[in-house]
Amino acid sequence: MWEQAFLQFFQHFESIMVRTMYSVSTSIDQELENNINLDMNLVVITFIVMIIVATICLSIRGPLAQSPAYLSSIGVLATMLGLISGFGFCALIGIPMCSLVFATPFLIIGVGTDDMFLIYSAYHRTITSETTSQRLAQTFRICGSGITITSLTNVIAFLVGATTDFYGIRLFVLNTSIWNKNLRMSPQFEISWFSLLGYDSQDYPFDNGTKFMDIIHGFVNLFPTFSNDLLINDTHVIASRFYLKMGRVYYNSSDGYLVNQLRSLAEQSKLPIKVYSNLFKYYEQMYEVIPNIIQTFIIAIEAMYIATLIIIPDLKSVIIIISTMCMILISLVATLHVWGIQVSSVMMIELIMSVGFCSDFCVHIVHAFLTSIGTRKERAQQALINMGMPILCASLSSIIGVLFLGLAHSYLFRTFFKTIISIMTLGTIHALIFLPVILSLIGSNWSSHRKDNIEQNNSLQMTTSINKDSQGNGYIIEEDITKKHENLQRKPNTIEEEEDDQLISTTQRVETINNNLTNLNMYT
> What residues contact residue 165 under an 8 Å CB cut-off, 6+ apart?
288, 292
Instruction: Among 187-196, 212-221, 354-363, name the one with the lowest average pLDDT.
Output: 187-196
> 478 forms bridges with which residues in the sheet?
465
Integer CA distances (angstroms), 376 to 149, 319, 440, in order: 23, 17, 5
pLDDT(479) > 60: no
CA distance 470 to 450: 45
User: Can you tell me the mean pLDDT for 303-317?
Assistant: 83
Closest CA to 329 of 402, 434, 419: 419
Phi-psi label, residue 159: left if phi above 0, alpha if psi -120 to 50, beta otherwise:
alpha
The mean predicted confidence, pLDDT, of the chain is 68
Of residues 433 and 255, more confidently modeled: 433
What does the pLDDT look like over 54-110, one tens digit per residue?
777 766 655 444 555 666 677 777 777 777 787 777 778 776 666 666 666 666 666
What distance in Å separates the CA atoms of residue 255 and residue 259, rounded to the nearest whole number? 6
Please tell me the number of Cα atoms within 13 Å of 395 on its side-chain side. 23
User: pLDDT grade, residue 23 (50/70/90)?
Assistant: confident
Q: What pLDDT shows up at residue 438?
A: 92
469: exposed, middle or buried (C-beta count within 10 Å: 0-12, 13-18, 19+)? exposed
The whole-angstrom separation of Cα 54 and Cα 116 is 9
pLDDT at 61: 55
Q: Write down the pLDDT at residue 104.
A: 67
* Cα dihedral sign, 208-209-210-216: positive
Tally of helices (H runs) and strands (E runs) in the chain: 18, 4
CA 91, CA 95: separation in Å to the nearest integer?
A: 6
How far from each other are the two terminal CA atoms of the chain, in whole angstroms? 99
Domain ranges of the chain: 39-172+293-447, 178-195+206-282, 459-493+503-523
The CATH homologous superfamily of the domain defined by 39-172+293-447:
Multidrug efflux transporter AcrB transmembrane domain (1.20.1640.10)
Q: How many Å is the Cα radius of gyration of the chain?
A: 35
**Planar angle of CA 223, 225, 226, nearest 5 degrees:** 80
Which long-range CB contacts under 8 A does 216-220 form with residues at least 24 apart? none
φ, ψ of residue 471 to 5 degrees: the values are -90, -5
383 has pLDDT over 80: yes
Per-residue DSSP letter, 461 = S
Predicted pLDDT at 186: 36
pLDDT at 255: 65
* CA distances in angstroms from 279 to 61, 252, 256, 416, listed in the order given: 55, 12, 10, 24
Judged against a pLDDT cut of 80, whether residue 342 lies above it is answered with no
Residue 173 has pLDDT above 50, yes or no: no
320 pLDDT tier (thresholds 50, 70, 90): very high
- pLDDT tens digits, one per residue of 407-435: 777 777 788 888 888 888 998 999 999 99
Burial 219-244 (b: 16+ CB within 10 A, else e): eeeeeeeeeeebeeeeeeeeeeeeee
